[in-house]
A and B are shown apart, each in its own frame.
Chain A
Amino acid sequence: MNVIVCVKQIPDPASPGELDPSTNQLKRDGKLILDESDSYGVEMALQLVDAAGGGEVSIISMAPNGEMSGMRTALAMGAVKGVLVSDPALAGSDALTTAKVLAGAVQTLGGADLVIAGTESSDGYTGTVPEQMAELLGLPSVTFAKSVKVDGGALKVSRQTEEGFDEVTCPLPALISVTAGVVEPRYPSFKGIMAAKSKPVDTKTAADLGVTAAGWAGAQQAIVEVAQAAARQAGEVIEDDGETFNKIVEFLDGLKVI
């Protein structure tokens, strides 16, 4: 079973990020790391290939400046090869162009039995790329997968919903988006980190994939305004006078949870 995982490389959340005032976009010029929300997809892919008893995990990414530090992390975890699309003309691409680029990268690899993406990135949060990719690739897609099994050539997915989860069966090949926390991503070993150095990563431009890079000017979406989130209000503090449990009951009753 061959699986392709879409991995986004994002600025390290541990260092303070900065917005470009002219575009309201996050600056992504520095060193990038593997988006934690994609590490779940990588782990799930590795587990599925392992369970299938053969095949390989490949990764695809779109990033500025030929950046592949984050891809190396996924390769260190066990992915065997990657395709990086890096092209100055792609700066400012909207979600649809990104989906076209990643779909092109999937085709460069000759497709796969399964394509995995995170439900949304930790720095952009559009959450629309996986479904757009599926449409472009003509694949069935299942979103918000919390557990995935391959059974007799079909995919069995527990799909997270607001009330609980749906059991979905879907033919392969397919594309799924996985929610964070569904598997425990492995730590890359030292051996894996050293091996990742020499794993092949094919670098492509938009033109290589036959994608028209629309850039800032042609983007179908724009960030109009960025505003500070409202600060969370301080909660009510009640001193315990020995009868405080009544207040707790009253409070919970007000919320209609008891």
Chain B
Amino acid sequence: MTINYDLPEEHEVFRKVVAEFARAELSPHVADWDERHHFPLEAVAAMADLGLFGLIFPEEWGGGGGDFLSLCLAIEEIGKVDQSVGITLSAGVGLGANPIYRFGTRAQQERWLPDLVSGAALGAFGLTEPGAGSDAGSSTTRAEPDGEDWVLNGAKAFITNSGTAITSIVTVTARTDAGISNFVIPAGTPGMIIEPAYRKLGWHASDTHGVILDDCRVPGDHLLGEPGKGFHNFLSILDDGRIAISALALGCARACLEMSLEYAQQRETFGKPIGSHQAIAFALADLAVAVENSANLTYKAAWLKDQGRDIGQAAAMAKLYTTEAAVTATRVATQIFGGAGFIEDSPVARFYRDAKILEIGEGTSEIQRMVISRGLGL
């Protein structure tokens, strides 16, 4: 048997369906949503109809029974049209539903999973704190047992999908005597305060808030996974999420390549299309290589995950390379578009603002390099 770089035919068919969906249902609105900082529940409902939130979950939960690669292709194609909608999907699946599916008891799954899988509800995951991110050892949020209940105190920062009209749960990490543990906090629980939405550089149509826990009381059965295993469990959730962010970044880079290529063949300077000038042609050649590499790293990481293999290194490499390629791609695209790329009428400007966070969320580039260098034995 020889090596095979073709995606399965059904996956290519599915990619086309999502691409057509994004073109027809999302692209006419994304600039408006971005400008108004509007979280598009209508886009969530449309993606839910297409089964995107349940894509990777088994049919018994109402899911599509798809593999991780299918999710990556969906995120890539949505992200190619709009990064905000892409992160809403990625976080909804990876950080909302996935922890409940992976670590929930049967009763917890029955309680929260169906709505997260159908897309009727969105879940959020609160790890980052004002004073701690990937260095979870510095986190200060605490959960104290009180009778049958747990009482949580602390603050979480930059929590995606935490304040939408359909947010059903926020899963948070908190210190307990047994170590870091995860707790599911249903929306509306007294003591969980969702702060006003951040004013962000990009991702204007995504939902991001700080979350304050002030004597927030949840029943004992809201502990998710084994006590003390919270750190280990969220690292595993983050590994999956890094591949998903890599797919989102791939969509960004691919959009930049396609938009730049089209523009370079139309826009003329010195009597010929700018793509005929070597400076632009070479920039596009480099961009094409970066997109190709990004795709290969992302799909391989997804494939490893689908094979049930260890993905720590592959996920970190894909996330590091692809997100940096995406940021470069937006810079190159904006340069090729020139003044037109600096104007908000152009999608290039939106992608330029949206890209930077890719190098930060789900572990910064520095954290990815740390993970990779540790993998080298350093």
Number of cross-chain contacts by CB at 8 Å = 33
A245 interface residue (CB < 8 Å to B): no
Task: With CB as the reference atom, state the residue of chain B lying closest to A76.
Answer: B13
Closest CB in chain B relative to A47 CB, distance in Å: 15
A189 sits at the interface (CB 8 A):
yes
- On chain A, the residues within 8 Å of B59 by CB distance are 191
A193 to B50, CA, bound (A): 12
Write out the residue numbers on chain A whose beta carbons fall within 8 Å of the beta carbon of B51: 189-191
Minimum Cβ distance to chain B for residue A30 (Å): 15
By beta carbon, the residue of chain B nearest A189 is: B51
- In the bound complex, what is the Cα–Cα distance between A193 and B65 (angstroms)? 11
Given the known interface contacts A187-B50, A189-B50, the answer about A194 and B10 at a Cβ–Cβ threshold of 8 Å is yes
* Cross-chain contact B21 with A190 (CB below 8 angstroms): no
Q: Which of B13, B21, B49 contacts A193 (CB 8 A)?
A: B13
> Is A187 in contact with B21, judged by CB distance below 8 angstroms?
yes
Bound CA span A189–B47, Å:
11
Is A197 at the interface (CB under 8 A from chain B)? yes
Does chain A have a CB within 8 A of B198? Answer: no
Q: Which of chain B's residues have a CB closer than 8 A to the CB of A189?
A: 50-51, 64
| Complex Cα–Cα for A187 and B64 (A) | 14
Which range holds the interface residue count of chain B? 10 to 19
Q: Is B55 engaged at the interface, CB distance under 8 Å to the other chain?
A: yes
Shortest Cβ gap from A190 to chain B (Å): 5
User: Judging by beta carbons under 8 Å apart, are B65 and A191 in contact?
Assistant: yes
Interface centre among B14, B65, B70 (most CB of A within 10 A): B14
B20 touches A190 (CB 8 A): no
- B66 on the interface (CB 8 Å rule)? yes
For A14, the closest partner residue in chain B by CB is: B16
Looking at the assembled complex, report how far the CB atom of A199 sits from the nearest CB atom of chain B, in whole angstroms: 13
**B285 cross-chain contacts in A, Cβ below 8 A:** none
Q: In the complex, which of the residues A188, A189, A190, A193 has the most CB atoms of chain B within 10 Å of its own CB atom?
A: A190
Q: Which of B10-64 contact A (CB under 8 A)?
A: 10, 13-14, 17, 20-21, 49-51, 55, 59, 64
Asked if A194 and B65 make an inter-chain contact with CB atoms under 8 angstroms apart, the answer reads yes
Closest A residue, CB atoms, query B55: A190
Contacts of B64 in A (CB 8 A): 189-191
**Which residue of A187, A194, A197 contacts B17 across the interface (Cβ within 8 Å)?**
A187
A191 CB contacts on chain B under 8 angstroms? 51, 59, 64-66
Shortest CB-to-CB span from A37 to chain B, Å, is 16
Q: Mark contacts of A220-257 with chain B using CB atoms, 8 A cut-off: 1 yes-contact digit, 0 otherwise.
A: 00000000000000000000000000000000000000
Give A193 to B13 CA distance when docked, in angstroms: 8
Query: Are A187 and B20 interface neighbours, CB within 8 A?
Result: yes
Question: CA–CA, A72 to B51, complex, Å?
Answer: 19
Chain A residues within an 8 Å CB radius of B17: 187-188, 193
Across the two chains, which residue of chain B brings its CB closest to A191?
A: B64
Any B CB within 8 A of the CB of A119? no
Question: A73 in the interface, Cβ–Cβ < 8 Å?
Answer: yes
A12: nearest residue on chain B (CB-CB)?
B16
Mask of A177-221 contacts with B, CB within 8 angstroms, 1/0 = 000000000011111011001000000000000000000000000
Q: Tell me, in angstroms, the Cα distance from A76 to B10 when the chains sit together.
A: 10
Q: Find chain B residues with CB under 8 A from A197 CB.
A: 10
Residues of B within 8 A of A193 (CB): 10, 13-14, 17
B residues 83-107 with Cβ under 8 Å of A? none
Chain B residue nearest in CB terms to A188: B17
- Bound: A193/B15 CA distance, A: 11
Cα-based distance from A104 to B289 in the complex (angstroms): 52
> Which of B13, B55, B64 counts the most A-chain CB atoms under 10 A from its CB?
B13
The interface bits of chain A over 67-104 (1 if a CB of B lies within 8 angstroms of the residue's CB, else 0) are: 00000110010000000000000000000000000000
Q: Which residues of A contact B10 (CB under 8 A)?
A: 190, 193-194, 197
Residues in A with CB closer than 8 Å to B55 are: 190
Contacts A/B (CB < 8 Å), 29 sampled: A73-B13, A76-B13, A187-B17, A187-B20, A187-B21, A187-B49, A187-B50, A188-B13, A188-B17, A189-B50, A189-B64, A190-B10, A190-B51, A190-B55, A190-B64, A190-B66, A190-B70, A191-B51, A191-B64, A191-B65, A191-B66, A193-B10, A193-B13, A193-B14, A193-B17, A194-B10, A194-B65, A194-B66, A197-B10
Known: A188-B13, A190-B10, A194-B65. 13 other contacts (CB 8 A): A73-B13, A188-B17, A189-B51, A189-B64, A190-B51, A190-B66, A190-B70, A191-B51, A191-B59, A191-B64, A191-B66, A193-B14, A197-B10
Measuring CB to CB, which residues of chain B are less than 8 angstroms from any residue of chain A?
Answer: 10, 13-14, 17, 20-21, 49-51, 55, 59, 64-66, 70
For the complex of A and B, the 10 pairs showing the least CB-CB separation, nearest first, are A189-B51, A191-B64, A190-B64, A190-B66, A193-B10, A190-B14, A193-B13, A187-B17, A193-B14, A187-B21
